[in-house]
Amino acid sequence: MRRTIFFLVALMAVLMVAAPASARVIVGTAGDDQLEGTNKRDHIFGRGGNDTLSGKGGSDFLHGQRGNDTLSGDGGHDYLFGGPGDDSLDGGEDADWIWSGHGADMLEGGAGNDRLHSAADDGVPDIVDCGAGFDRAVIRPPDVAEGCERVRAIDPNNEPGPRGQVIKGTRGDDVLVGGEGRDFILGRAGNDQLAGAGGNDFLFGMHGNDALAGGAGDDRAWGGPENDAISGGEGNDWLFGGWGADVLNGEAGNDRIWSGANDGAADQVDCGEGDRDRAVIRPGDTAVNCEHVKTIS
């Protein structure tokens, strides 16, 4: 498997060709923001502050990041990531995937067959309300879940380390989500959405304008040849942009971020809230919240 990973990284470096983005990327500020998406696919990052994020229509990726945030998926099959702080996460209509972070969070599935994950083992109770539909929830003590057809409670003192899986996309637009183990997720062609969830995962967007979210664990994520949105989530993550105008967010943990190719496209790097974050960028790129930044031409 390790040889396969290194082969894929080398292959992406050979095949990189720039292409225009088809998804909208919305990035907040260090303050309190109100960010709204469109009726198409949006990738919304709150950054710092107590933010309000609304996906509106389309299949959206919402990242609250730092602060006490309110996330609403609204219509479409949405993916909500809370981050550190006391967050309110509402999937809205359709089948949504929702992950909390550290803090006392409220997770609401709404309509549709939803999957809700209380991700952090921080001893702070989350409240999970699955809502209508055939819903599944993963919680950790002392969380509370109601209205769910299936609930899995993880005891961190007794739960064995789960094995991971290899998940491969198609030539179309895929939504690929890992489990609690170490997963290897390959988007292949198309504009894909990859989420590692739990475990120390390896995510490869490959071709297309992709959205990658590491989730919990120490993750490694490679964007590929086009315009990608990459977030590490919790843990000490390594993020690689590749070619194209990429948005890279380390989020929690001490992360290492490489903006990628010297192709003239402006990448946006936000190292997040760690105290030992490092970034390597190219001329024209921007980097914020990083303790160490190196610019190479």
Q: What is the pLDDT of residue 156?
A: 57
Count the alpha carbons within 13 Å of 61 in the hemisphere toward its beta carbon: 27
Nearest to 151 by CA among 143, 161, 163, 160: 143
Q: What is the pLDDT of residue 113?
A: 94
Count the alpha carbons within 13 Å of 182 in the hemisphere toward its beta carbon: 8
Those residues of the chain that have pLDDT short of 50 are: 1-21, 158-161
Does residue 109 contact residue 133 with C-beta atoms inside 8 Å? yes
Q: What is the pLDDT of residue 134?
A: 92
Q: What is the pLDDT of residue 23?
A: 64
Q: What is the pLDDT of residue 162?
A: 53
DSSP string, 71-113: EE--SSS-EEE--SS--EEE--SS--EEE--SS--EEE--SSS
**What predicted TM-score, i.e. pTM, was given to this entire model?**
0.55
Q: What is the pLDDT of residue 10?
A: 37
- Per-residue pLDDT tens digits for 115-127: 998 877 777 788 8
Does residue 55 contact residue 72 with C-beta atoms inside 8 Å? yes
Q: What is the chain's length?
A: 297
Q: What is the pLDDT of residue 243?
A: 86
Q: What is the pLDDT of residue 256?
A: 93
